[in-house]
Structure 1
Amino acid sequence: MSLNKQAILQDIFQNAPPLNSEDDCAENIVIPFLQRLGYTRHQIGRKVSITGTSGHRFRKQADIVVYINQRPSLVIETKRIQHRLKEEDVNQALSYAQLLEPPTSIAVLTNGRDWEVYYLDKDDIGGLEAVPEPQELESIVLGISGTAIQTEKRQAAERLLVTIENKADLEVAFRECRKELAKEGLIAESAFDELTKILTCKFNEEKRASEGLATNRFTSQWLLGSSPLIALQQMFSDAKQTFNVFPTGTQIQIRSNETVEKIVRELEPFGLYGFKTPLGLAGAGGDVVGSVYEAFLTGTLRGDLGQYLTPRQLVEFMVEIADIQIGEKVLDLSCGSGGFLIRAFVHVRKKIRSLDISKDEKDRLVSNLVTNHLWGIEINPRLATLCRINMILHGDGYEHIYTGDSIRDDFFENTDGRRTDLAAIEQNNATKFDVILINPPFNIPYEDFTSLNRYVLGRGKAAQGSDYLILERAISLLKPETGRLLVILPHGVASGVSETEVRNFMKANTYIHACISLPVGSFKPFGGSNARTCVLYLMKTPKDNKKRFLAQAERVGYDITSKYYREIDLNDLPVIAEAYYNVKQNLQ
């Protein structure tokens, strides 16, 4: 008879000391839990060193490895109880599983309260009850003992761990690439375009190698046998077939073999593509795209357009409290490189892979998610291209990523020639959106009469800010009664006298469900802005409910005093998210 694992865990928590670290979680929650399942202490390894296929020994160690007959059979990656489990954690745990000797196919990720169970050869994601008991794990091990994990996948896992461990080194590599491109006269936007092409080549080469289709040519060794520039041009020609995101006729602009050699040498050690997991692709996009953005979108391209990277911590928080459901249609009207859409994809895909339905039905739901339910519009063609690449890497599709001005335009087109009419969607409740997530360009003035006259908040004015106009358009695109909007806006909208008109417009057209104040400097590392901001959660609900959720974040998981992005452990956002869910039902 199977054990009641939830009851066991609750009992352990009742007797646990304060939990302040990963080690506290491992020693006081996870190991006692494993022992209650029937594992002996000598079967449980702590801080197990990981060595790559190249002999590289990683600084980070697997937190817990469970052994069956001296064979590593289960990897458990533990996190602080305050930590929200994220995609990078999954990538790390599955990479450890592939690089153990011999490898194992099962990995568990937990912060003590939340448990996720992953199998390298399955698309299912299990919860606490899926943690195997000793006899079950032994049968799993017997079933895989004769199965060899492909060398390419193990090498991909090693490259991915190198990247996770050395984010600072990756940023240095991007800066070095920028210097090399500058020598060719490629600066600012041109340098950004060129690095996007080069990274697309690297993505594609790692993809082909991971799938066993061809040798990875994005290596210094490969370039020795040919003209580096000709080799890169051929890689890009092949990559354009996989990533149909570049305008017709786009070519590599580098002219020097030496530049190609240096850039390939800088980027070669890092893994950007990763390998297949139940969440999609390990290592795809995310921090890599953010690093590219910070290194190359400078001055003109970022500040003048009011475009600021939305930090991962805020993206995760907003998607978490939005709690997007399977089948819901999601939109970002200023999607940038796709942060909200990627996180929404991972969030919903995790729900799908956790369902107790057939694999074919899960695949159908995931395909529908990618092809029908994730929509983005981006005014900057460079960022739109990066978003499409990011979407392909994570979910194999970008059907509804469009380029255009979501304030002025109605008709939008993607690189496949697909067109959509936003005005028509506004007139049809059935085609409107369930969830809209946006960090709009801040206060870019729109001054032309035609644009201003389209909006209640623009009529009769000489100018109106982009953030308020895009707010109005977002509200018009929400499904009646059930639609919800999460948006980052200047804090004055919540209480400032000068923003009374905007606030009254929101009250007249939505229910203000929640307001989370962010500290001054939340966007300082992402463009130098010291503006105080907030996250507003608006609902298209007919209920006249006077209750709403209010919170103030003082710490957001990164240093808000520096112009450079640097992660820190202190983060109020997960605590606020948990507090929100504790009272959510009382707000209905």
Structure 2
Amino acid sequence: MSDQIVKAKDLIQDTSSASELFDFITSKPIPNKPENREAKVPFEKRLIEEYGYNKTDIEPEFRIQHGSHTIGPADIVVFHSSKEHIQENIYIIIECKKKDSKDGEQQLKSYLSPCKSAKYGVWFNGDEAKYFKILDKDPHWREILNIPTAMEQEGLPRKADLKPIVDLNKLLEPIHHKIYADGGLSSEEIFDEIIKLMFAKIADEKDTASPSVSFGISDVEEEAINNNTSNDFRARIEDLFDRVKRRYKDLFDESEKIKIKTATLAYIAAQFENLSFRNTERDIKAAAFQKFVYAHQRGERGQFFTPDPIIKLAVNIIDPKEDEMIIDPACGTGGFLVETMKFVWQQIDESKDSSIDKDRRKLDYARDKIRGIDIAKRLAKVTKMRMILEDDGHTGVFSADALASFPTIQKEAIESNATAIQQGSFDIVLTNPPFGSKGKVTSKAILEQYELAYKWKANETGTFEKTNIIADQVPDILFIERCLQLLKYGGRMGIVLPDGDITNSTLSYLRQYIKDKAKILAVISLPKETFIPHGTGVKASVVFLHKLKPEDLEKEKKKDYPIFFGIIEKIGYDGDKKGTPLFKRNEDGEAFLDEDGEQILDEDVSEVVKEWKEFNHGKIG
């Protein structure tokens, strides 16, 4: 479908039902078993693309001679470079198991034992990995932090030799498990530690003054840590994080430290040291990081993630342009900002400019036109990291209370080295504010700025008038007013709101306020399962507004302008906590495929976008 805006690749796909699986080394079909699908093929790919080994030096399913018996086959065998594929030339053996499996370590060692030239062994179950170095004497093997790359030399790697990351999520998940196994840190604290280290790793990559990696660990340092003797490793990593704290003062307190144990920090450094975030394709690292974020962050204080289909819906309806400024004052993990940036970059890619000019325009747009605020430092960190992984735009994101006074927000922006936020300066606002009666705003200093923080009373004609009485208010209602304050005349906005804001009789004054301040472009109702996988079962809608000058708005109201109402019934995933993707199928239960061979999600989001475009004749307002 030409209007298909949500495809299967936008969500996690379950490939367990695929009929064929192909070995990454031989390209031959192999049994589609969990251990092959989850561990063997992914690790084969890592050996080539991350570790730098040649396919010609790798053989899957290699049998080992042990005395008079043949054992195995070993799942993956790496041979010494350019050597014949015989047992005497084995360099590394990898044993692969399905997820959650803990067995196989002794099986690996039984393969290594008769292979005198073997130097390393790996046990991998798709999530967790153990690396072993072969020793000439008891205990004959020692667990290490990682195996060497094909070109690895003594000491720390050179930055020029760093490889792109093949699967960031498969890199981050074992790190999360390793920190968790140490105990002492909550899930949120673990997430924070990983974010700290990602910032430190990228800071190291951006430091062109040093040709060698700082975010890594040498053999000497690894041995010192194992022997509990002093070394410079931890101090070097903490120095990188100190640089990050100085650069991002709004996100990290000066007193913050890396909480991870030194041995675990060494393990993480070993996983990162040969890889480059900056050399990894933008789509790979951004999509994987988003998946990791969704897996380990849940809503708090009424905050929760906006699902991708709804983000795409809002961005397609708002239809942002390269010269337009956008802000999300409750940016969360940056979904609206990232999708808007990608939407505009697609427009730039379709222009006739040279590649160099296109790259310059993309960078200018990301730096000059995108702004994001979130009260939660943790979420602002995530948004900054997402923007960095997308290649920029992070300078416009900072942590502050977007409901505070504009002078307060300006002060926070300056202290954060972020761009100033001016009232009435934005062409577009897209946001999904926190909502719920549990988290009412009670600060008088904040409330007195807002007309919607006062009680309203109907007069004898039925028109609501603002009284002088200030009352505690839910943030979603205050955000409606703040978003309108941020918009310039002619600007437009999309905001996710609980259905109660639209339907409750006690909020009639709110609906009058909206009609008096903006033209209502569209109201799109979302199905009840929309936010269940993201932490809440609240029924919601997306409301789109166009801020006009008072005289122009009056003209529109006199014309009794039409409003687009859309109803989304199928969101493309199940209403369970996992958000299991649902695909369109024929009468025989077979999934429909698009022109790229992708399964097509069973959704009507794209149809609503199409109906909106037909309704609006391609124009806003």
**Partner-residue secondary structure (3-state), 1:327:** coil
Change (3 A) 1:557 1:173: farther
Secondary structure of the residue aligned to 1:388 is helix
Q: CA deviation at 1:261?
A: 4.9
Q: Secondary structure at the match of 1:285?
A: helix
Q: CA deviation at 1:436?
A: 0.4
Distance 1:493 1:512 in 2: 14
Question: Who is 2:121 aligned against?
Answer: none
Change (3 A) 1:363 1:272: closer
1:234 to 236, 240, 244: 236
CA 1:217–1:520: 2 relative to 1, 3 Å:
same
CA contact (8 A) 1:274 1:282 kept: no
Q: 1:320 to 1:276 in 2, by over 3 A?
A: farther
- TM superposition shift of 1:405: 0.8
SS of residue in 1 equivalent to 2:527: coil
SS in structure 2 opposite 1:483? strand
Give the C-alpha shift of residue 419 in structure 1.
6.3
Paired residues in the alignment total 434
1:306 and 2:302 are equivalent in the alignment: yes
- Work out whether 1:584 is the aligned partner of 2:583: no
Give the corresponding residue for 1:179. Answer: 180
Is 1:398 equivalent to 2:394 in the alignment? yes
Q: In structure 2, what is the Cα distance between the partners aligned to 1:212 and 1:559?
A: 49
Q: Do residues 458 (structure 1) and 442 (structure 2) align? A: no
Letter in 1 for 2:500: G
Give the SS at the match of 1:446.
coil
Contact 1:174 1:292 in 2 (8 A): no
Equivalent position of 1:352 in the other structure? 348
Contact 1:99 1:154 in 2 (8 A): no
Contact 1:272 1:284 in 2 (8 A): no
Q: Could you tell me which residue of structure 2 aligns to residue 253 of structure 1?
A: 258
Q: Counterpart in 2 of 1:497? A: 505
Task: Tell me which residue corresponds to 1:191.
Answer: 190
Query: Residue 339 of structure 1: CA displacement?
Result: 1.6
The alpha carbon displacement at 1:518 in A equals 0.7
Summarize the Cα distance change of 1:224–1:241 in structure 2 as closer, same or farther, 3 Å threshold: same
Partner of 2:514: 506
Q: How do 1:90-489 and structure 2 match up within 5 A?
A: 156=163, 159-160=165-166, 162-163=167-168, 173=174, 176-177=177-178, 179-180=180-181, 183=183, 185-203=184-202, 214=212, 224=222, 227=225, 231=233, 233-235=235-237, 237-238=239-240, 241=243, 244-245=247-248, 247=252, 249=254, 252-254=257-259, 256-261=261-266, 263=268, 273=277, 275=279, 281-292=282-293, 294-295=295-296, 297=297, 302-303=299-300, 305-359=301-355, 361-410=357-406, 411-412=408-409, 413-414=412-413, 417-418=416-417, 422=421, 425-426=422-423, 429=424, 432-443=425-436, 444-459=439-454, 460-480=469-489, 482-489=490-497
Q: 1:474 to 1:100 in 2, by over 3 A?
A: farther
Which residue number in structure 1 is paired with residue 569 of structure 2? Answer: 554
1:272–1:283 contact (8 Å) kept in structure 2: no
Which of residues 536, 540, 546 is equivalent to 1:533?
A: 540
Structure 1 distance, partners of 2:476, 2:522, is 19
Over 3 Å counting, the alpha-carbon distance change for 1:156 and 1:366 in structure 2 is same
* d(CA) in 1 for partners of 2:372, 2:481: 17
**Residues 202 and 409 of structure 1, relative CA distance in 2, 3 Å threshold:** same
User: 1:567 maps to what in 2?
Assistant: 581
Unaligned runs of 5+ in 2: 9-19, 33-48, 57-157, 455-468, 583-600
Cα distance in 2 between the residues matched to 1:476 and 1:585:
28
**For residues 419 and 465 of structure 1, do their structure 2 counterparts lie closer, same or farther at Cα, with a shift above 3 Å needed?**
same
Letter in 2 for 1:573: V
Name the structure 2 match of 1:135. Answer: none
Provide the C-alpha distance between the structure 1 equivalents of 2:386 and 2:609, rounded to a whole number of angstroms.
Answer: 26
**Cα 1:201–1:283, aligned 2, differ >3 Å: closer, same or farther?**
farther
- Which TM-score applies when normalising by structure 2? 0.60
The amino acid that maps onto 1:537 is: F
* Preserved CA contact (<8 Å) 1:272 1:285: no
Asked whether the equivalents of residues 273 and 283 of structure 1 are also in contact (C-alpha less than 8 Å), the reply is no
| Secondary structure class of the residue paired with 1:434 | strand
| CA distance, structure 2, for counterparts of residue 202 and residue 58 of structure 1 | 38
- Distance, in Å, in 2 between the alignment partners of 1:550 and 1:400 is 33
CA contact 2:222–2:266 (8 Å) conserved in 1? no
How far apart are residue 217 of structure 1 and its match?
5.3
1:126-166: CA deviation from partner (whole Å, max 9, x where unpaired): xxxxxxxxxxxxxxxxxxxxxxxxx9999855x43x45xxx
SS of aligned partner of 1:284: helix
For residues 402-449 of structure 1, the C-alpha deviation after alignment (integer angstroms, 9 at most, x for no partner) is 221111232232486436665xx22xx5xx100101000113201233
Kept in 2, the 8 Å contact 1:478–1:484? The answer is yes
1:382 partner SS: helix
Measured at CA, do residues 509 and 287 of structure 1 come closer, stay the same or move farther in structure 2, by a change above 3 Å? farther
Deviation of the 1:535 alpha carbon:
0.9
Q: What amino acid maps onto 1:475 in structure 2?
A: L
Contact 2:193/2:260 (<8 A) preserved: no
Give secondary structure in 1 for the equivalent of 2:286: coil
In the TM superposition, residue 381 of structure 1 has moved relative to its aligned partner by 1.4
Higher relative contact order (CA 8 A, sep 6+): 2
Cα-to-partner distance string for 1:239-281 (whole Å, 9 max, x where unaligned):
665793353646543353333355567x66998836366xxx2
Given that 1:513 and 1:538 are in contact with CA atoms closer than 8 Å, whether structure 2 keeps it comes out as yes
Larger radius of gyration: 2
Distance 1:575 1:526 in 2: 23
Q: Percent identity?
A: 22
Deviation at 1:511, TM superposition (A): 1.1
Give the 3-state SS of the residue equivalent to 1:503 in structure 2: helix
Contact 1:518 1:532 in 2 (8 A): yes
Contact 1:558 / 1:565 at 8 angstroms: preserved in 2? Answer: yes
- Whichever residue aligns with residue 577 of structure 1, its letter is V
Residues 395 and 418 in structure 2, CA contact (< 8 A), matched pair in contact too: no
Q: Unaligned 5+ residue runs, structure 1? A: 1-8, 11-20, 23-46, 62-94, 103-150
Shift of residue 517, structure 1, vs aligned partner: 0.7
Report what 1:107 is aligned to.
Answer: none
Deviation at 1:353, TM superposition (A): 2.6
Residue equivalent to 1:44: none
Shift of the 515–153 alpha-carbon distance from structure 1 to 2, 3 Å rule, reads farther
Match of 2:90 in 1: none
Give RMSD over aligned pairs: 4.3
Query: Which whole-Å CA distance do the structure 2 matches of 1:504 and 1:222 have between them?
Result: 70
Amino acid at match of 2:507: E
CA distance 1:310–1:271, change in 2 (3 Å) = farther
> Could you say which residue in structure 2 is the equivalent of 1:67?
none
Give the secondary-structure state (helix, strand or coil) at the position aligned to 2:353: coil
| SS of residue matched to 1:558 | coil
